[in-house]
Amino acid sequence: MSTIAECGTKSLETVRNYINTEDPYLFGGEKIEAEQLEAIRELFALRRSQIRILGQRAATVGIEHIQSLDDLVPLLFADQTYKSYPETFVKNNQWAMMNRWLDTLSSAEISDIDVSDIKSTDGWITRMTEHGHHIVVSSGTSGKNSFLNRTSSDIAVSCASVVQNVALTQGITAGARDRPVILIGPSEGPYVFVTLMRALAESFARPGQAYWLSDVAITEADTQRQGELRRKANDGTATPGELREIEDTARARQSEMQKAMGVLADALIRHKDEPVMVVGLWAPHFMLVEEARSRGMRDGELHPQSTIFTGGGSKGAKLPDDFKQQIETFYGVEPSRYYGNYGMVEMLTGFIECSAHRYHCPPWVKLLVLDQEGENLLKPENGHVEGRMAFLDLAVEGRWGGVITADKVTVDYNPCSCGRSSPSLTSIVRYADLPEGDDKLSCAGTMSSYIRGEIAS
């Protein structure tokens, strides 16, 4: 594998070096943009031979070199690219085929990793991790998982930057280890959010005061059985008894989870009179809040200088419509005590939310605003532009970091009242949530809605 350093790509290194500055979000303007364009040229030259899907795309659209940013647009991946594998590979445990697929999207060779004994997605991810391919799994709205390859150094950059950003926006000190940290998730596992939580615990938790949601031990055999049952449920061949088994298992896990959540809520209550940090996805936050309430902790009792770190959607969890409001009422801290950032798995580093409520872009992410179709680059007028958000994350090593998102954003290139010069997002909305969304009606259906039996439920 050729790393960026080996290739001696000077501008790329210059841009990536901003990661080591105290507040990378200060930087913006023409000088940075010129450096970024040069870095983009270097990165494309490097990756097009490594990443076959990128090479194929470049050949199809006939782009040999990046002259201007317009050349980059057809080389950006759709967010579907990272879930473009046939689901039958997963269903049939064809993990060698999944290796081949991941290989077409990765900077480094992975086809030769032995996966002949792998019997589940978790098993595959673990095996990949053992070989330095940290697979980020993300389940989108379609229910099909995305798999993105990250190298160990990608993981390190991602962890370092989240720690740095939390310190920067919360006015606390990275590495100080001066507060209790409540981590509403497992402490072990191949998943990236776990790695991120470990980095936060390591940097901010007082020794002995990192409280994790204790793990429910799940054997590989359990995982395989559940995988098998889910497969049958998805293709419609599960018997009613098997569907019952899935639900019973889920219920049993839920109840064990509840017990573990109680232990965590007790820790929160013990430390409520000092600044704590509470880290988790939205759904676990809600479970913690409910558990703490049931143990007598009242709304607004948490120390006002606490930090709340949230993330993820609420998909798949049964939550009331006002769950965010309930969480916010319970914690009772100022909005600024929530770590605000705009990010996605396709990016190593999030955009931080500043005091002026804008989301700032770091110098190693090239922000691009396209038309709704995602085909043409839009030019800012008076420093403002609105359209489909796309970007190239120049820091990513494991794969091609160029992605077109599903978000409609407004970008302000003018310096922000918070004192930062980096381009910033002043509004973000998903295209799917806009009122002019689809009201077309057609009789064509898809198999899955029937198989899952949802149409009549």
Smaller CB distance to other proteins: residue 257 or 406? Answer: 406
Measured distance CA(360)–CA(342) in Å, rounded: 9
Place of tokens 């990513």: 396
Smaller CB distance to other proteins: residue 100 or 232? Answer: 100
Yes or no: say if 46 and 7 are a contact pair by the CB < 8 Å rule.
Answer: yes
Smaller CB distance to other proteins: residue 56 or 68? Answer: 56
Yes or no: say if 341 and 359 are a contact pair by the CB < 8 Å rule.
Answer: yes
Q: Does 84 bind other proteins (CB under 8 A)?
A: yes
Q: Does 78 bind other proteins (CB under 8 A)?
A: yes
Q: Does 119 bind other proteins (CB under 8 A)?
A: no
Measured distance CA(213)–CA(183) in Å, rounded: 7
Measured distance CA(339)–CA(88) in Å, rounded: 39
Single residue of 44, 85, 323, 351 touching other proteins by CB under 8 A: 85
* CB 245 to other proteins: min, Å: 22
Binding mask 231-250 for other proteins (x = CB under 8 A): -----x--------------
- Coil/strand/helix, residue 181: strand
Task: Candidates 218-226, 299-307, 343-351, 440-448: pick the segment binding other proteins (CB under 8 A).
Answer: 440-448
Give the chain's largest Cα–Cα span: 65
Q: Does 444 bind other proteins (CB under 8 A)?
A: yes
Residue 421 burial (C-beta neighbours within 10 Å; 0-12, 13-18, 19+): middle
Measured distance CA(161)–CA(24) in Å, rounded: 10
* CB 345 to other proteins: min, Å: 16
Task: Candidates 2-10, 198-206, 316-324, 436-444: pick the segment binding other proteins (CB under 8 A).
Answer: 436-444
* CB 289 to other proteins: min, Å: 29
* CB 234 to other proteins: min, Å: 9
Task: Candidates 76-84, 118-126, 256-264, 270-278: pick the segment binding other proteins (CB under 8 A).
Answer: 76-84
Smaller CB distance to other proteins: residue 84 or 249? Answer: 84
Single residue of 88, 254, 294, 376 touching other proteins by CB under 8 A: 88
Binding mask 35-74 for other proteins (x = CB under 8 A): -----------------xx--x------------------
Site for other proteins in 282-341 (CB under 8 A): none
Cα angle 262, 267, 271 (rounded to 5 degrees) comes to 145
Closest alpha carbon to 90 in 122, 64, 133, 54: 122
Single residue of 25, 27, 101, 391 touching other proteins by CB under 8 A: 101
**Residues sharing a CB contact under 8 Å with residue 411, sequence separation 6 or more, in sequence order:** 367, 369, 380, 384, 385, 386, 423, 424, 425, 426
Measured distance CA(115)–CA(93) in Å, rounded: 10
* CB 434 to other proteins: min, Å: 8
Cα angle 177, 217, 196 (rounded to 5 degrees) comes to 35
Q: Does 81 bind other proteins (CB under 8 A)?
A: yes
Q: Does 83 bind other proteins (CB under 8 A)?
A: yes
Give the type of residue at 426: T
Please name the helix (run of DSSP H) or strand (run of DSSP E) that holds residue 16, with its range, or none: helix 10-16
Yes or no: say if 197 and 185 are a contact pair by the CB < 8 Å rule.
Answer: yes
- Site of interaction with other proteins (CB under 8 A): 52-53, 56, 78, 80-81, 83-88, 91, 97, 100-101, 104, 142, 144, 236, 435-447, 449-451, 454-456
